[in-house]
Amino acid sequence: MKPTVTVLDYGSGNVRSAVRSLERAGAEVKLSAQAVDVLEADGLVVPGVGAFQTVMDELKQVDAIRMIGRRVAGGRPVLAICVGLQILFEAGVEHGVRTEGMAEWPGVVEQLPAEVLPHMGWNTVQVPSGSVLFEGVAQERFYFVHSYAVQNWDFDVSQPKMRPPLVTWSEHGSKFIAAVENGPLSATQFHPEKSGDAGARLLRNWVNSLPKSRPQRSTNGTEAS
């Protein structure tokens, strides 16, 4: 039985490539913002294209902030992409305007100090040991399109029972966070759906890690207890 994945449909650009890539990765995929689809799918993918503030506003319009929070609190897998990663941090600053994010992780999204922006094209990543997302592709390149990123990570590791997130880095003008793996919550600054074979393997790694929680059906068509 294929794991079910909902790609959050809230108006963020062309997400059809993400849907197709996830289907090729072995998932049963639905494009939706309906609560039943967002909350009950085995995995949720949050895409993001454009400005931090715009994405936050669009997510709020479909009640996605609350639904994403519910999934994370319940240990239900979420994969966020590009600006989808950015809004998981404390805030984003664009053109002097600060917009509050979801604050799942510490850090502020700011413009990269690079001579050429946007950072568009293929780049390498520095993957920590133990990564599930990057298994088999840690040495590969991935496709980035962005001008803003989180360039500092200050996670509180004072609580010994809390396993710190795995943080993957890349560099353009300065080091920046390219991906985070934190229990049920994973995110990439790059676009795996546009990253060729490496991106396809990464999505397959994520899909294969999903717990399949749909109820089994008995032979007479009713849900088994």
Place 142 in a pLDDT band, splitting at 50, 70 and 90: very high
Give one word for 107, left, alpha or beta, with left for phi > 0 and alpha for psi -120 to 50: left
- 15 and 194 in contact (C-beta within 8 Å)? no
Question: H/E element holding 178?
Answer: strand 175-182
pLDDT reported for residue 214: 53
Extents of the domains making up the chain: 4-208
Q: Catalytic one among 95, 115, 193, 223?
A: 193
Q: How far apart are CA 90 and CA 69, in angstroms?
A: 14
pTM score, whole prediction: 0.92
- The answer to whether 146 is a known catalytic residue is no
Task: Report which DSSP code applies to 183.
Answer: T
Dihedral sign from CA coordinates of 22, 19, 179, 100: negative
- The answer to whether 193 is a known catalytic residue is yes
Structure-token match 């780049």, residue found? 123
Residue 135: pLDDT above 70? yes
Place 161 in a pLDDT band, splitting at 50, 70 and 90: low
In CATH terms, the superfamily for domain 4-208 is Class I glutamine amidotransferase (GATase) domain (3.40.50.880)
Q: pLDDT tens, 167-208?
A: 999 999 999 999 999 999 999 999 999 999 999 999 999 999
Q: How far apart are CA 70 and CA 85, in angstroms?
A: 17
**Phi and psi at residue 55, in whole multiples of 5°?**
-65, -45
Pair of tokens at residue 158: 């004072």
Place 213 in a pLDDT band, splitting at 50, 70 and 90: low
Cα angle for residues 145, 81, 102 (degrees, 5° grid): 115
Percent of the chain surpassing pLDDT 70: 91
Q: How far apart are CA 129 and CA 126, in angstroms?
A: 10
User: What does each C-alpha distance from 194 to 38, 76, 86, 173, 206 come to in angstroms?
Assistant: 23, 25, 18, 22, 16
Give which of 74, 79, 41 is closest to 206, Cα–Cα: 79
Question: Cβ neighbours of residue 118 under 8 Å, at least 6 residues apart?
Answer: 145, 146, 147
Q: Catalytic one among 82, 104, 172, 181?
A: 82
Q: N- to C-terminal Cα distance for the chain?
A: 18
Q: Which of 42-56, 90-104, 157-171, 177-191 shows the lowest per-residue confidence on average (mean pLDDT)?
A: 157-171
Pair of tokens at residue 115: 């001579």
Q: Catalytic one among 119, 146, 172, 191?
A: 191
Q: How far apart are CA 47 and CA 19, in angstroms?
A: 10
